[in-house]
């Protein structure tokens, strides 16, 4: 707020408004740009393609931006644009037009380098004639990447790259390592390191805006048991305590049948993002070997069949899915091979 008052007073004094990016007072639109795609693989080496690595990293960066619930200076969260989300070719001018036409505040391009197996390390670019805001963003991206990865520092640089030159907003392009280097490729192609890199891009952006780095303060876990609020099922799901493997006091049992009579766990999630979903049942030889859990994720419902004759009395992974904030559901259908039982006990969501 002090930043805004100062800017207002400067304007009132008739001075020229300089940049006010530090402590931005409105939600900021960030355009993430995964390089290459489709017919253009970018660099190749070590059995990897640049277009794949940078898309994976960029999608993880988008997730971090969407997960970050810290104060971004009045907006409450970032508004995220991304030049591609799948393996498609997007022209350089198409990338610039997209960012320009959608009013992006920052443009952040992610690439891997390649140089005949003979170079390694990271470097970050801004447009040669770019402004100090671009240089600051570039420097922060470079610093945070270096802090995250033990790769060779090659420096902050300038270049006349198309996407840096023809975007109207502050822009940087990060070369996250050499795909054809035996040293770097184990990082750039690795999902965990892609995620760490993605987080470092968020931290760079936050420092660039004068904000604290976001880290999830505590694990977000939402558990719904069969006898707590959030559980619903018809009377055909009968209460049982026969097995000692129950979560909480008991569980519910229903004979399998070719009919729609699913039990539903509804979890009220505090924020959108990726959640690991797990289910708990008590096992037994009369259980279904293909109990159909239906996860109603943001991208659509996904059915995950689990063998309830095994692994009872513990959390069993159904997968990690994207969900919006608020009520989200997992259902257990009884519509599978007849002659068995499906067991409805507990489901939990853990934010990733």
DSSP assignment letter at 37: B
* C-beta neighbour count of 214 within 10 angstroms: 19
Helix axis angle, 132-148 to 191-208, nearest 10°: 140
Residue 175 bears catalytic tag? yes
- How many residues belong to the site for Zn ion (CB under 5 A)? 3
Q: What is the x/- site pattern for Zn ion, positions 236-265, by CB under 5 A?
A: ------------------------------
Min dist CB 41 to Zn ion, Å, is 10
- Positive or negative, the CA dihedral 125, 129, 134, 140 is positive
Instruction: Determine the interface stretch with Zn ion among 86-94, 106-114, 149-157, 322-330 (rule: CB under 5 A).
Output: 106-114
CA 311 to chain CA centroid, Å, is: 30
- Using H for helix, E for strand and C for coil, what is the string for 148-180? HCCCCEEEEEEECCHHHHCCCCEEEEEEEEECC
42 binds Zn ion (CB under 5 A): yes
Selected from 29, 84, 111, 252, the binder of Zn ion by CB under 5 A is 111
54 or 81, CB closer to Zn ion?
54
- Is residue 23 left, alpha or beta, with left meaning phi > 0 and alpha meaning psi from -120 to 50? left
42 or 45, CB closer to Zn ion?
42
Instruction: Determine the interface stretch with Zn ion among 109-117, 164-172, 254-262, 289-297 (rule: CB under 5 A).
Output: 109-117
Min dist CB 85 to Zn ion, Å, is 18
Min dist CB 188 to Zn ion, Å, is 11
Q: What is the x/- site pattern for Zn ion, positions 19-38, by CB under 5 A?
A: ----------------x---
How far is Cα 296 from Cα 289, in angstroms, rounded to an integer?
21
- Report the DSSP beta bridge partners of residue 304: 293
Q: Which of 123, 144, 172, 175 is catalytic?
A: 175
Min dist CB 110 to Zn ion, Å, is 9
Q: Tokens 């409805």, residue?
A: 344
Binding residues (CB under 5 A) for Zn ion: these are: 35, 42, 111
């Amino acid at each position: 707020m002090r930043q805004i008052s100062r800017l207002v007073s400067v304007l009132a004094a008739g001075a020229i408004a300089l940049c006010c990016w530090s402590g931005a007072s409105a939600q900021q639109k960030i355009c993430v740009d995964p390089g290459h795609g489709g017919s253009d693989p970018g660099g190749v080496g070590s059995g990897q393609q640049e277009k794949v690595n940078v898309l994976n990293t960029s999608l993880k960066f988008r997730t971090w931006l969407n997960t970050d619930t810290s104060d971004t200076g009045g907006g409450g969260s970032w508004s995220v644009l991304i030049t591609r989300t799948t393996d498609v070719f997007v022209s350089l001018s198409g990338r610039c037009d997209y960012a320009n036409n959608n009013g992006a505040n920052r443009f952040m391009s992610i690439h891997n380098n390649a140089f005949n197996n003979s170079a390694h390390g990271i470097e970050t670019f801004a447009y040669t004639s770019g402004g100090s805001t671009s240089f600051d963003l570039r420097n922060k991206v470079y610093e945070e990447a270096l802090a995250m990865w033990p790769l060779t520092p090659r420096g902050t640089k300038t270049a006349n790259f198309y996407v840096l030159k023809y975007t109207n907003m502050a822009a940087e392009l990060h070369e996250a390592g050499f795909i054809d280097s035996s040293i770097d490729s184990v990082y750039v192609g690795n999902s965990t390191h892609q995620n760490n890199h993605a987080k470092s891009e968020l931290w760079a952006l936050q420092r660039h805006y004068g904000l604290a780095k976001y880290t999830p303060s505590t694990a977000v876990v939402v558990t719904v048991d069969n006898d707590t609020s959030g559980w619903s099922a018809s009377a055909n799901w009968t209460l049982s305590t026969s097995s000692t493997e129950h979560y909480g006091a008991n569980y519910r049992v229903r004979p399998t049948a070719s009919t729609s009579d699913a039990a539903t766990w509804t979890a009220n999630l505090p924020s959108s993002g990726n959640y690991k979903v797990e289910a708990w049942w008590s096992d037994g030889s009369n259980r279904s070997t293909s109990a159909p859990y239906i996860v109603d994720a943001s991208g659509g419902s996904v059915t995950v069949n689990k063998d309830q004759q095994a692994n009872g009395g513990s959390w069993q992974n159904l997968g990690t899915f994207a969900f919006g904030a608020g009520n989200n559901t997992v259902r257990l259908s009884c519509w599978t091979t007849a002659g068995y039982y499906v067991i409805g006990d507990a489901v939990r969501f853990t934010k990733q």
